[in-house]
Amino acid sequence: MMPKGPRHLPTLDYVSIVASLYKDRRAMLVGMAATIFGVMMAAVKTDALVLYVVALAFVVSTAVRYYNMLAFEMNPPAPDDRSTARLWERRQMIQGTISASIYGGWCLVSLVFVRDPFAELVAISVTIAATIGIVTRNFGIDTIVTSQSLAISIPLALGLVLVGDGYHVALAALLVPLMISFRFLAADVRAMLLSQVHERSVASRLALQLDTALETMQHGLCMLDENGVIALANDRAQQTFAGIAEGAWVGRSFADLLEEAIGKRALPETTADRLNRMIIQQTGGKIVMKLSGDFHCEVTISSRGDRTVLLFENVTARIRAQERINFMARYDGLTGLPNRAYFTEQVEAELGSRERAGRSDPVLLAIIDLDDFKHVNDTLGHLAGDRVLTETAARIQTVMHRNSRLARLGGDEFVIYRAQGADPDSIQAEAEAVLAVLRRPFQAGGGRIDLHASIGFVSSSAPLIALDDLITRADLALYRAKSRGKGQHQAFVEEMDSAFRYRQRLKGDLATAIAEDKLKLVYQPLVDLATRQVAGCEALARWDHPELGAIPPDIFIGLAEETGQISAVTRWVLKTATAECVNWPKTISVAVNVSARDLRGEELGLHVSEALEASGLPPGRLEIELTETALIEDREGAAARLEALAAKGIGIALDDFGTGYSSLSYLRGMAFSKLKVDRSFIAGITTSERSLKLMANVAQLGRDLDLVLVAEGVETEDQLEMIARHTGIDQVQGFLFGRPLPADETRALIARMNQTRVRPLGTGTPRPALVSK
């Protein structure tokens, strides 16, 4: 929409219109000189003093206007200074109106007072000419045209009317349409001007917006004409090829620019050719260019008609991020080795190629596991553990075979794969070299760390072999190496596969047995040494396989821990044992073993509460037994969970005391109420005074800590007698009092033993066994 007047124009255009009022001083001087000359001719002819006064007024007005123009030229308003331009507009209107009034007054005095035809003709004709000049000079501002037209026409019309005859009155009347036509003329010219100014303003604004958009946009933009010549380019586009194509782009062929980049080895020729074809064929699309250094630029090509637009986007950060993501997806962030996923991808591709080629040369896959690495994290912290893992990777790389590929499977497990030169001698040499280099002490956590590693490996010449099979067999060999004492390497042999399938079957059958309640509990008594009566029983799980017979507890309990089913076993044992204990005398408690996995989770306390609530057994008649190995993995968490159980009145017993390396520290920080001394302390007490003293000292330690002491593995009357006479042991447990029994036989045993009268010690008379073995 076109603006209504100058004041509605943008400031820049309004200031320009005001400035036009003060232009061309010479034209103003020539016009005023002609006016003054006409007045003087009329004054000389008529010798009228008033005309001399009019001439003087014109001279003064001309001087003032000229001075005003000079002042404007010396101090013009700024393009954005609208208020100053408005002041200059008012000055021009005042001075122009005064000048126009002098013209009107000249006509009035000539018609009314001088009354000379020549004087009247000169006054009217010059005044009408001046009116035309007013319209052409001031058409841009309607108020100035109107005020000056009125200042001329009113005195002129008044003079014509005062002459008195009808012709002059008619002539005065004709001034009205004349002045109106002048005003319409000014309005038309002004409308055309303002329309052009508006269009120019819009065009300028659009151009400015386009320039702003081009220069502020984050991407470079370049437009090519039908000949492939650059017609438009912003600064960012030129920065893309900075240092390659110097100077202005506009007017240059884009193909020449690419040639220059190729010549400076900043752009691959294949990339430039592809980009050129896309421009020539106007197919559109995207292409990523790698320019000199590590700068990546994505070019988007769009075509319409005979114009092609190229959009340049700096994607260096995105490419680097993608490369980083790809690296993180394929490589271990700690050691820089390929991770499990990338290792699997590489080896499976190589095995597939080997299968297609029908090759039968042997391949090697070895798994390296750091022995007892978790102890490093637990005692020195994960930062020290990370340093050990990093150095482990570096050490292995220094001694492994040149054809081997090393990766980190996760945790403290590494894997080596080799598809060339995997003969038995080189495999043996590599395994021994890896073990040797890892035996050297590590320096981390401010101290020395001595570690060993175990290696299980498999070598296969079968043309068809899967990576999963290789890993499974190497795992079996690793398991065997660790079972032989750790710090060793072991090759896979076929009998391991049979053992593996046996274990896999047991895992599935164990899950079924747990789900179908096919496990059973037996109970082994703990006898009070002073009264020779049953003080409690330890609940032990047993599994009779329908086809394989009795499965040893150490096997199926280990499988339950490995498969994550141990929690379900513990829950069942707690529920069954507490329900059975209710049937025993109120002085007898029941003990339930828990595993490391039970202590790591949050469900043990819940399972204990459920069992006690369901059975109605008081918490004081339940004991929880655990070994030191169950405490190693999460000592702080285990302490908190045991403390919560002890707070309810539940007994906490440390089983197999003395077999670990840090038992005393556990006694200081855990809520134990009972210590069960390992059977290894009992074995030699009848023949070795040293063993007896050691046993007595352990018992004294327990008494000092106000703990109940239990001797495990008592199998003979002589052992029992030595314990009773020379140690402060409170309770004993072992085959001397019978093997673990089912629930009904346990009840009978308790009834029989708790009726036995206590006999004083030290009489020297032989004592028959309390229960036949």
- Average pLDDT taken over every residue of the chain: 83
For residue 687, report the phi and psi dihedrals to the nearest 5 degrees. -120, -15
d(CA 330, CA 344): 10
**pLDDT above 50 for 381:** yes
| Averaged pLDDT, 392-408 | 93
**190 or 61: which leads in pLDDT:** 61
SS3 539: strand
What does the pLDDT look like over 363-379, one tens digit per residue?
999 999 998 888 787 77
- Answer yes or no: is pLDDT of 459 > 70: yes
Helix pair 566-581, 494-515: axis angle to 10 deg: 50
Which tokens in the block code for residue 650?
Answer: 């539940």
What is the value of pTM for the model shown? Answer: 0.49
- What pLDDT was estimated at residue 357? 83
- Answer whether residue 307 shows pLDDT above 80: yes
Tell me the mean pLDDT in the region 386-413. 92
Strand 453-460 versus strand 363-370 pairing type: antiparallel
- In this predicted model, what pLDDT tens digit does every residue of 494-537 receive, in sequence order? 888 777 778 788 888 988 998 888 999 999 999 998 888 999 99
Per-residue confidence (pLDDT) for residue 571, from 0 to 100: 93
Q: Which residue bears the tokens 């004993």?
A: 732
The pLDDT tens digits for 701-748 are 878 888 898 988 898 898 898 888 888 889 999 888 888 999 999 999
Nearest CA-CA partner of 762 in 713, 734, 726, 710: 726
pLDDT 10s digits, 105-145: 898 888 888 888 898 888 888 888 888 777 777 766 778 77
Q: What is the pLDDT of residues 630-684, one digit of tens each?
A: 666 667 778 888 889 999 999 999 888 766 544 566 666 678 888 888 888 887 7
Split at pLDDT 50, 70, 90, the class of 242 is low
Q: Where are the alpha helices (DSSP H) in 110-141?
A: 117-138
Position 273 pLDDT exceeds 90: no
| Residue 66 CB contacts under 8 Å (≥ 6 apart), including other chains | 25, 28, 29
pLDDT at 192: 66
Tokens, residue 525 = 């008594």
Handedness of CA 369, 372, 378, 384 (dihedral sign): negative
For 424-457, the pLDDT digits (tens) are: 999 999 999 999 999 999 988 777 888 889 999 9
- pLDDT digits 0-9 by tens, 486-505: 889 999 988 887 777 787 88
- Of 221-230, 549-558, 571-580, which range is least confident? 221-230
pLDDT band at 570 (very low <50, low <70, confident <90, very high): very high
Q: What is the mean pLDDT of residues 238-252?
A: 71
Q: With a cut of 50, say whether residue 588 has pLDDT above it.
A: yes
